[in-house]
Every structure is written in structure tokens, then in C-alpha cells.
Amino acid sequence: MRVPTGKYSQPMSRHASVTRRAALSVGVLIVGTVAAGLRASAARAQPASTARYRGYSPEDWARPYAKFMADRTLPPTPSVAAAYTGPPTPAEGIPEASTLHTELAATDYSPIETGYGRTSSGKVWVAVHTEMPGVTAAMWDWWFGWHSAESARYKLWHPDAHLYAGLAVDKSAESISDRAKYIGNVSYVDEYIGPKLQQLAIAFQDPLAHGFEVPDGHTMILARVGSAVAPLNVGWLAHQVRPIAGGCEMRSRFYLDMWGIRLPDIRNAVAAVERGPSLDPRDIATDMEAARELLLHCGQEMHHLARFLPDLYNEFGGDAQL
């Protein structure tokens, strides 16, 4: 697949950024308006799930994929553990978000593949590299089209930290490509990143429209990340998956403090409020401690899932029916 040229050749180019203060000010006003109408809206809107709990219930253990659920998430790889306990990467060693489509090129590596810090322009940056023996890019496309339909699936990924998952539109059982199931869709998740519970909306984007090269045998998961309660976006994530000998590698990038406003989703905002814990969009942290915890979280969940993803995919992926 060739890289598009023209006005979409810069990643995230169609999404205007605003300052954190401006986004929070507008977000608080919108949240106040939304909160005032939640009861009336809830009566009209078809409710999303509000069940949130740690681990598996008896009903979850009866699901056909429950054998893949672990008691605890695997520890991080040595490179992630070293970055987590080490200092932030100096700003001069961190690429700006505007270069992401070239940094995550189909070949080569960046000078720093695992770390956290702030760019020279003040954006929060996290990078994680994960090698995955026996895993392919197709397995990750399937996973992103499949896992958010049920919280029990989502919990397989990080048993210690994942609590809830839902979708704007559940396409997981549709006869369409795996990428079509998640690109253009929104996943709503409740998860702990470090000690802090986050309620997030992850809006998946088409990487080709943002100037990324995605050759055959590769994939790129690109998304705008924001609050599940307030109509605020806070940053971007990108997971590049490309083949290596014996499997694949994932190169993950997060850029935070890239604030923006989006249209409210009343149905899922209602459900998020009912799950709790707060309507305050300032609960989305974008400081160095949050970046450090995000590095550990991403490193653990990718390493953990990669250990059984081939078996899970072979049993439930492709034409398999649950």
C-alpha cells in the first residue's frame, strides 16, 4: 500500500489542537450541560452496560475463552522495567508528534524505542517496544475488532488493570474485514493506569488517511484518546505491528497533552457516569508520573497478550464462531 500524499500526508492533520485550559473550560461547561440532561437522555437512549468489577464473575468463567484468563498480568520485559525505573528521556531525544508517520516507518528503528518524557514543545510522549514470538499483524487486527465487545474479552489483555469495555457500535460478529470492525469505531474502557482509574474513549482512525505506510503483513492501530464522560480528547496512540524473524514486533507511541473537543456520546456518557467515579475531566492526568505508569501498563499488556494470542486467534479468530 502506498502512502497518500497531499493534505493528509501529515499525521493527525485534520484534528485541530487547543490548549489544555481551553479544552477543560469548554469540557466542564459541556459536562455540566450533559449532566443536567442525563436522566432525561437516559430514558430515551438505549442504555450501555454499567457493570464494572475486577476479575471474572461466574458467568465470565463459563465463556468459551475463559481458559485464557490469568490470575495476574505478566511482569514487564526487562527493557520496559528499566525504562520505568529510570529517568525521563531528555526532550532533545524525543521526536515531535508531527513526525510520527516517518518515525513509525515500515523499516528501521528510532534511537529510543522504549521510554517516556516530554517533547520540546511540551507534549507528553511514551514509547514501548515489544517483541512477540509466533504473533502476526493479522492477529492484532482481529484482536482490535473482537475484544471490546465484551468486558470479559478485554480483561484477558491485562487481568490486573482492565475492568470494563464497550463499543459505540458492536461490529465484532459482522461479515466484514477485521480492520473494518474497529477503524471508525469507538471503544469505551475503564482501566487502571498505575493507581488511577481512567474512563477512556478510544476513537480508531484510518492510518492511511494520516500518511502512514502499511505494507502487506503489517498493521497500524491509530486512535484519538479522550474521556468517556466529557467530550474531550487528550492525545493520540499508535501501535505499529511489523514482521520479524519468528513473529512480529510492536512499536507503540503515545502523545498526550494534545487536547481537543468532540461531539458528546450521551448513551455511553450516561453509562460511564453510572459506573463512576467522577465527571471531572481533570481526572485525565498528563504529567510525567502518568506517562511513566502508561509505559508500564502498555508494556505489560502487550507482553501478556502476546503470550497466548496465537492460540486465542487459532480458536476464535477467522471464521470461528463463539
Q: In sequence order, what E strands does 150-217 have? A: 162-167, 186-193, 196-205
Around 239, how many Cα atoms within 13 Å sit in the side-chain half-sphere?
Answer: 18
Domains and CATH numbers, the chain: 20-316 (3.30.530.20)
Strands 186-193 and 232-244: unpaired
Q: Give the angle subtended at the CA of 89 by the CAs of 88 and 95, to the nearest 5°.
A: 135
Phi, psi of 36 (to 5 degrees): -65, -30
pTM: 0.88
Half-sphere exposure of 261 (CA within 13 A, CB side): 14
309 in Cβ contact with 137 (< 8 Å):
no
Reading the chain (322 residues) residue by residue, the pLDDT tens digits are 333 333 333 455 455 455 555 554 454 455 555 555 554 444 444 455 668 999 999 999 999 999 999 999 999 999 999 999 999 999 999 999 999 999 999 999 999 999 999 999 999 999 999 999 999 999 999 999 999 999 999 999 999 999 999 999 999 999 999 999 999 999 999 999 999 999 999 999 999 999 999 999 999 999 999 999 989 999 999 999 999 999 999 999 999 999 999 888 998 998 898 888 654 555 566 899 999 999 999 999 999 999 999 999 999 996 554 4
